[in-house]
């Protein structure tokens, strides 16, 4: 009698899996119609590591100059970064001259960028990479250089003429919420009118939150990705605060993300100074779960083999770049253990278990397989592979099984559950 009863139950469970696939495949909110960022943007951005260092005489190897970006471009091509998907080399603030030119156009600092942005773009393109640049919706950039307010159309045309492929558009020195919203919309339309494919990275919701809740459905119609929270720092406290904000606001932000438009929790600081190895694993794993843009901010000239291997981990990058395009979310938190999950293509799931406890040694955590993937991840069974902190096959698990893992303090175990 028991064997007979399993047949209809198994068939019912398989139907549930099929329905889950159909539901997850529904498109999200309407997106910016430029055909870009169909998976999260990957690349390198200078800000967290190099900030606004303009002292090229005193610090020639770390100032914001064409030399720095050319060196990074060379390494992105030669050291395997481009091959695994890191495609955009992005300039942040402090590249500009203090004033616009006689025709009202932005211009690069002539001493630090003697070839101009057009020359730098040509060099970056010759390496098979794309160039990103920075501007601001307000009267000045955050560092005090010329802003784009009142110049949106000419700035968009200038960027296109230079061969720019991505614009990070900040929100400093804007005198009203109305100007902020109109400015972000105006620049989006201006970029599209140039006819050049330029990824549009916004900070619109970050600057909206102090005044009112952002309209993410509207933001997605104008931006390819958008910052929600404060800048990342090279510290565990900073990474923790970003994860805490994301999980506490996930009901508002998760569903709006998808191909063409992504929530941006800011740069990867892996390979720098402030994170332990386990904390670097946590950032990489959770940025993959969150379908976040993977924009490194580090010094590729001086990066450890261990950090490089983590950032170039093809299995983790595949989760981040999964074509289903669904952002993951925190499933539960109990006793300083968080469980995050993300639906993937082909009925697979990614699961991350994070140990937030900062005292003591590794902790064991047992989880019911039936509780994962909205109860559908392993029906009737699945193959589970641990991807981080190191890769190993854990084997086949049935829907009724439990899984026990060991997680280091501030570390993460990243799993992939594949349908069989």
- Per-residue DSSP letters for 111-134? TT-TTHHHHHHHHHHHTT-EEEEE
Low-confidence residues of the chain, pLDDT below 50? 1-10, 12-15, 19, 22-23, 26-27
pLDDT at 302: 98
pLDDT at 130: 99
Biggest alpha carbon–alpha carbon distance for the chain: 88
Q: Is 97 exposed, middle or buried (0-12, 13-18, 19+ CB in 10 A)?
A: middle
Helix (H), strand (E) at residue 83:
helix 81-84
Helix (H), strand (E) at residue 166:
strand 166-170
231 is catalytic: yes
pLDDT digits 0-9 by tens, 168-221: 999 999 999 999 999 999 999 999 999 999 999 999 999 999 999 999 999 999
Which candidate in 79, 122, 153, 231 is catalytic? 231
Count the residues in the chain. 420
pLDDT digits 0-9 by tens, 41-79: 999 999 999 999 999 999 999 999 999 999 999 999 999
pLDDT at 301: 98
pLDDT at 198: 98
Residue with tokens 């900030």: 51
3-state SS string for 281-315: HHHHHHHHHCCCCEEECCCCCCCCHHHHHHHCCHH
- DSSP secondary structure code for residue 141 in this structure: -
315 is catalytic: no
* Nearest in space to 295 (alpha carbons), one of 326, 246, 262: 262
pLDDT at 17: 52
pLDDT at 420: 86
Using an 8 Å Cβ cutoff, are 9 and 265 in contact? no
Which candidate in 170, 266, 299, 322 is catalytic? 170
**Partners of residue 340 on adjacent β-strands:** 330, 352
pLDDT at 277: 98
End-to-end CA distance of the chain: 26
pLDDT at 31: 78
For the full predicted model, state whether its pTM sits above 0.85: yes
pLDDT at 28: 54
């Amino acid at each position: 009698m028991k064997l007979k009863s399993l047949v209809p139950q198994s068939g019912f469970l398989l139907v549930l899996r099929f329905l889950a696939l159909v539901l997850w495949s529904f498109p999200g909110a309407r997106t910016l119609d430029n055909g870009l960022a169909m998976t999260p943007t990957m690349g390198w951005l200078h800000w967290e590591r190099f900030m606004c260092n303009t002292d090229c005489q005193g610090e020639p190897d770390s100032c914001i100059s064409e030399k720095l970006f050319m060196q990074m471009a060379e390494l992105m091509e030669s050291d395997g970064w481009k091959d695994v998907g890191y495609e955009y080399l992005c300039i942040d603030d402090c590249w500009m001259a203090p004033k616009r030119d006689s025709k009202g156009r932005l211009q690069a600092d002539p001493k630090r960028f003697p070839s101009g942005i057009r020359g730098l773009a040509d060099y970056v393109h010759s390496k098979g990479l794309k160039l990103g640049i920075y501007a601001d919706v307000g009267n000045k950039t955050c560092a005090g250089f010329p802003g784009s307010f009142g110049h949106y159309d000419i700035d968009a045309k200038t960027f296109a003429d230079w061969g720019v492929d991505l614009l990070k558009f900040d929100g400093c020195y804007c005198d009203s919420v109305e100007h902020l919203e109109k400015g972000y919309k105006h620049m989006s339309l201006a970029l599209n009118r140039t006819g050049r494919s330029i990824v549009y990275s916004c900070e619109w919701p970050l600057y909206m939150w102090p005044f009112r809740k952002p309209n993410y459905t509207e933001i997605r119609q104008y931006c390819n990705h958008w910052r929600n929270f404060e800048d990342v720092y090279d510290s565990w406290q900073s990474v923790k605060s970003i994860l805490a904000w994301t999980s506490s606001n996930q009901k508002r932000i998760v569903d709006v993300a998808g191909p063409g438009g992504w929530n941006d929790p800011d740069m990867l600081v892996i390979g720098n100074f402030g994170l332990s190895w386990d904390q670097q694993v946590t950032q990489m794993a959770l940025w993959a779960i969150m379908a976040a843009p993977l924009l490194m901010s580090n010094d590729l000239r001086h990066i450890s083999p261990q950090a490089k291997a983590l950032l170039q981990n093809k299995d983790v990058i595949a989760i981040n770049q999964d074509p289903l395009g669904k952002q993951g979310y925190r499933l539960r938190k109990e006793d300083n253990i968080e469980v995050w999950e993300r639906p993937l293509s082909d009925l697979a799931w990614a699961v991350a278990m994070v140990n937030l406890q900062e005292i003591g040694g590794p902790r064991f955590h047992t989880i019911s397989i039936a509780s994962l993937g909205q109860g559908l991840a392993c029906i009737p069974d699945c193959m589970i592979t641990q991807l981080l902190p190191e890769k190993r096959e854990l084997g086949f698990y049935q829907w009724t099984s439990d899984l026990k893992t060991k997680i280091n303090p501030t570390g993460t175990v990243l799993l992939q559950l594949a349908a069989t």
